[in-house]
Structure 1
């Protein structure tokens, strides 16, 4: 040890460094503080490097997964803990159940080095690869005065499971749940890994099998945010995005995987132009088969043919016209609606070069609201579908699922960002409405909700009383806005949403069904919805949905309170019968409820303080004016 110290002293003298023993007391303290800061910085940078090392994390998870020797099933384990977003909930028709796979959860962690020091908040993200079987409650389960029973959750620990991921796509076909792509995020969200692998899960044996995929095998490249559907013979995939920090790419190509031959092929190449949908991710897709002997048109022709024998030849011309339109053969169309992408804008003459150095290229988010269809097995060409009916406005992060019984696609929720104060402030509006797209008629309709018989619509006096309570601070505002309004603004918005003049009164008569007014009557930018007696899930993004039987089930998702994201874990059922209504099956957990309560309290506190200060200033100004007079 001595020789080593001597060598360090010589080295220090060459560099002109002062001996530690010759430093003054204050200098020693400063030097010690500097060394401690350097050590702390080194430790934190080392921890960050470890958190960013995705390959190391995945290797450790793979080794842990390889320790499993057999499939282990945990029945009645309860819903996933913690909640999930960007996971998939895939319905198995044969099992009358759904399978939840993957997803992610972002949480806030508060740390303090010592007592009395300020707490630092860090955001951590966990990504999952566990599989849950979701079995809805039977009608008899809703006993004891409850409107909806609690579903049964079963955790399936399989051998050879796929790596953890979120933002993947999945669909069910022929006894298997097929899963493609997705992404893995480092805990500090600094690094991402996109997958191009393709898996299927056997719903009978609970076993995973990896299939050939990737560009080498004629399949899609690595991506997440893509969407998929299943036909009788193929797994069809469209779109997605790839983000590697240095570059970000969005796709509009379309691939098909043959279930029997287990081979990929390209249905439609990506590219630019007006003859195909633009590149996008997180869109909504469904398939429709028209024409042929099994179509609804053929059934109509058969019924008309039978009637023709009774009524003569009066329907003969109409029948020939239908045969001409359908072409006598079945056609399968893939429908693509909406989506999201980021567009890199070229800097203009007014752009400061220093801004480009500090912030890089200027990106602009684009939310799509166009609709296209692809002739899958025919000419494989895209056609733009005109908006018909009452279509939803553009939104990002919405969830969608197909309701086969009524040949329709159901779209729920999403978020709309409003830029105010010339773009300096962005207000995010989380939506809780639902729309349906009938892919046979290609028309949109809002999903009308019905009230219970024992529930009443608020009268004008009740609405005004509610507005008074909001103004007095006795009631909170709408939970679906992440920016809080003042008490006066809340009251004004509530009245505005309830009373809007002659056109609204006409629309109320037109759309009032079961005592509930359609959501289309109210301005989306007001910040408050009209009072409704029906229970509804909170507005959210990246939730997972499925349809089992004639019920839509909703789980999880993300909501923002201020600038903080909260991952939800509640479960809702939407009855898709003739009179649709939401029924809450499982509330948010106590942990999530406490987190929401704390954040909303923090968000409301500064607003009330500012209002009190403003009222005090207004009073003082009035007093000054009176004195001057």
Structure 2
């Protein structure tokens, strides 16, 4: 019975396609006849047309059809241009893997330089085997836009489908959202637009994915500059029937909340949705909220009314809460790869701290779904005989050291770690969010993204690859240092005008390093004087507190302050690139609270608790044990971190600049950013 129903529905779909084709042919014939009638010659008199008249009319028809064909080819002509390197810097474009596995395609995007916003509709193709970019032009193509959605299917030789997106004036006073649907033929690289009476509303920040021949669209937002409206409607476009259908769920059915900027990845069981972003309004104030829930959309191709959402549990090494992360499908492993993201933390009503990420995760799409942390593998170094002899000599020397060498040995242990050029962690892209990402075969491609620093939005244009089957190191195909980027800000002129007054005093150090060095010299000299005074043979009576601990004299407290300041300055001088991955995770950063420190490295602390055997392997108990270990570590560094803040205050830095010392932490724009939508 089920097979008969399926066959009947398949027959109905075929008949529907046939009727649509017949209608299209009739429209073309009607248009052709209209043109033909303009050239036809009416014969006077009665009776049938003679043979010569019929031949003339047939010739006119053939000529008209040829003119129609030539005009269509002109409108859809595609020209190409080879370009040097990746496209110009842009954000919110789409980077899509060819469904046949040979090329990458990039379309659209926007670039904001602090003063004006520019939108693009150029179309690029990247050939990895040649490391070659080409740009293609066609009179018939989608208009300039960003934050659109693209999905691909291998059907009919390969198609790329695009829907929606947004466009604004350069000063961002006027906005427009699209609701058009386009298809790109991979073989000819020509675009075709599909206009239907029923279709989704205009939107941006939505996502699409293919399930068989069905194009599935969910969510997004609509923003005309006053208030952002978020959506959670579900639409399915049947590419065979050329028809949109909105899936109406019951009020009691579970479903994801309204959102944009989420991940939407197809698998054999359906489509997996993860994360996203939404602004919630309290009166007129907008509060941004990152989402980290995961859902599976189960699709019944025979009866779309039976589609339903299923919420998945958090299993494995789950990424920390963030928005702006990107996930893309790794078909060979039925796995989604995630990279980057940002989380905004409001320290006070006036201060917002943003933490940016450059970590990678994998999500196993099938069954219940499971998260894994993607770590680069260090290559095993081949130790030469000479290196072995030198290492043995050092060990022998350490065994024969006297007690007087203990301080020297301790000093060596406290030295900043040397930089290892072969450390794969040094190859990672810098922290960022909203990257454009795709996988071809077993290679991950990462293009661009956004990084905020000093209330500026830097649009990146670097290009990286990672062999997912090796995980040895990232390869940079094009670098893009921050200092090479332009930013136009009204505050620039104010900074320039105030530069004279800032540098009026020649005695004041002009840089943070200068202030730190001057402070260190001053305090070191003080410590030397105090050390000389301490050589006195007088044995003074010392005061003790209630617990019996000896109280320090004023001079000793000042010496302790000297040592603390020296430690803080040394801590500030350690380069993150020279640290091991474990050192980065286990060391608090300047400006980090305990909560931020633990959230950044919680997987590491849970593993520490597990390896120490503090508790049995249980979720909640493991969380508590890991938190206690992180807390002890944080308290060890707390005096140094507080001293760093005092150094920065003495340097005259404001809160925004002080937050920058945390490396990947800054006073982000938060909800004020047009990319937080």
TM-score range, shorter chain: 0.5 to 0.7
Larger of the two Rg values belongs to structure: 2
Distance 1:380 1:93, change over 3 A: closer
How far the C-alpha of 1:387 sits from its partner, in A, is 0.6
Structure 2 gaps, min length 5? 1-72, 384-409, 490-494, 496-508, 530-553, 559-677
Distance 1:607 1:283, change over 3 A: farther
Corresponding position of 1:194: 177
Superimposed CA distance per residue, residues 424-443 of structure 1 (whole angstroms, 9 cap, x where no aligned partner)? 32222210001111011311
Structure 2 CA distance for aligned equivalents of residues 455 and 187 of structure 1: 56
Corresponding position of 1:135: 127
Alignment of 1:261-280 (within 5 A): 261-268=241-248, 275-280=254-259
How far the C-alpha of 1:582 sits from its partner, in A, is 1.6
CA contact (8 A) 2:273 2:295 kept: yes
Are 2:299 and 1:376 equivalent residues in the alignment? yes
Corresponding position of 1:254: 234
Are 2:362 and 1:436 equivalent residues in the alignment? yes
Corresponding position of 2:271: 334
Corresponding position of 1:204: 187
Structure 1 CA distance for aligned equivalents of residues 271 and 256 of structure 2: 12
Secondary structure, in 3 states, of the residue corresponding to 1:413?
strand
CA contact (8 A) 2:91 2:110 kept: yes
Distance 1:598 1:200, change over 3 A: closer
Corresponding position of 1:115: none
Corresponding position of 1:362: 285
How far the C-alpha of 1:416 sits from its partner, in A, is 1.4
Alignment of 1:151-550 (within 5 A): 151-173=131-153, 174=155, 175-213=158-196, 217-268=197-248, 275-289=254-268, 332-346=269-283, 361-377=284-300, 379-420=306-347, 422-441=348-367, 442-454=369-381, 464-466=414-416, 533-550=425-442
Secondary structure, in 3 states, of the residue corresponding to 2:297?
strand
Secondary structure, in 3 states, of the residue corresponding to 2:338?
strand
Distance 1:615 1:417, change over 3 A: farther
How far the C-alpha of 1:465 sits from its partner, in A, is 2.8
Distance 1:598 1:209, change over 3 A: closer
CA contact (8 A) 2:149 2:208 kept: yes
Distance 1:598 1:264, change over 3 A: closer
Structure 1 CA distance for aligned equivalents of residues 235 and 451 of structure 2: 33
Corresponding position of 1:70: 77
Superimposed CA distance per residue, residues 51-99 of structure 1 (whole angstroms, 9 cap, x where no aligned partner)? xxxxxxxxxxxxxxx998832201254321x212111011113261011
Secondary structure, in 3 states, of the residue corresponding to 2:416?
helix
CA contact (8 A) 2:276 2:291 kept: yes
Structure 2 CA distance for aligned equivalents of residues 578 and 78 of structure 1: 25
Secondary structure, in 3 states, of the residue corresponding to 2:141?
coil
Secondary structure, in 3 states, of the residue corresponding to 1:193?
strand
How far the C-alpha of 1:595 sits from its partner, in A, is 3.1
**Aligned length in residues:** 408
Structure 1 CA distance for aligned equivalents of residues 363 and 76 of structure 2: 46
CA contact (8 A) 1:87 1:543 kept: no
Distance 1:240 1:607, change over 3 A: farther
Corresponding position of 1:292: none
Superimposed CA distance per residue, residues 13-51 of structure 1 (whole angstroms, 9 cap, x where no aligned partner)? xxxxxxxxxxxxxxxxxxxxxxxxxxxxxxxxxxxxxxx
Distance 1:461 1:277, change over 3 A: farther
Secondary structure, in 3 states, of the residue corresponding to 1:405?
helix
Following TM superposition, the consecutive aligned residue runs of length 4 or more in structure 1 with deviations greater than 6 angstroms are: 66-69, 460-463, 596-599, 612-623
Secondary structure, in 3 states, of the residue corresponding to 1:570?
strand
Q: Which one of the candidate residues 455, 461, 471 is aligned to 1:569?
A: 461
Structure 1 CA distance for aligned equivalents of residues 161 and 90 of structure 2: 20
Structure 1 CA distance for aligned equivalents of residues 344 and 521 of structure 2: 33
CA contact (8 A) 2:113 2:486 kept: no
Structure 2 CA distance for aligned equivalents of residues 67 and 455 of structure 1: 62
Structure 2 CA distance for aligned equivalents of residues 288 and 336 of structure 1: 11
Q: Which one of the candidate residues 104, 127, 130 is aligned to 2:110?
A: 104
Structure 1 CA distance for aligned equivalents of residues 413 and 209 of structure 2: 45
CA contact (8 A) 2:119 2:167 kept: yes
CA contact (8 A) 2:159 2:185 kept: yes
How far the C-alpha of 1:370 sits from its partner, in A, is 0.6
CA contact (8 A) 1:228 1:236 kept: yes
How far the C-alpha of 1:409 sits from its partner, in A, is 0.9
Structure 1 CA distance for aligned equivalents of residues 164 and 488 of structure 2: 36
Superimposed CA distance per residue, residues 376-401 of structure 1 (whole angstroms, 9 cap, x where no aligned partner)? 11732222111111111111111110
Distance 1:609 1:239, change over 3 A: farther
Secondary structure, in 3 states, of the residue corresponding to 2:116?
strand
Distance 1:398 1:563, change over 3 A: same
Structure 1 CA distance for aligned equivalents of residues 160 and 428 of structure 2: 30
Are 2:91 and 1:79 equivalent residues in the alignment? no
Structure 1 gaps, min length 5? 1-65, 109-122, 139-150, 290-331, 347-360, 470-474, 476-514, 517-530
Structure 1 CA distance for aligned equivalents of residues 257 and 326 of structure 2: 20
CA contact (8 A) 2:342 2:355 kept: yes
Structure 1 CA distance for aligned equivalents of residues 412 and 288 of structure 2: 41
CA contact (8 A) 2:113 2:487 kept: no
Structure 1 CA distance for aligned equivalents of residues 91 and 267 of structure 2: 28
Superimposed CA distance per residue, residues 303-358 of structure 1 (whole angstroms, 9 cap, x where no aligned partner)? xxxxxxxxxxxxxxxxxxxxxxxxxxxxx422111000000124xxxxxxxxxxxx
Distance 1:605 1:224, change over 3 A: farther
Normalised to the residue count of structure 2, the TM-score between the two structures is 0.55
Structure 2 CA distance for aligned equivalents of residues 83 and 219 of structure 1: 32
Corresponding position of 1:553: 445
Higher helix content, 1 or 2? 2
Distance 1:449 1:198, change over 3 A: same
Are 2:83 and 1:91 equivalent residues in the alignment? no
Structure 2 CA distance for aligned equivalents of residues 212 and 69 of structure 1: 17
Distance 1:621 1:127, change over 3 A: farther
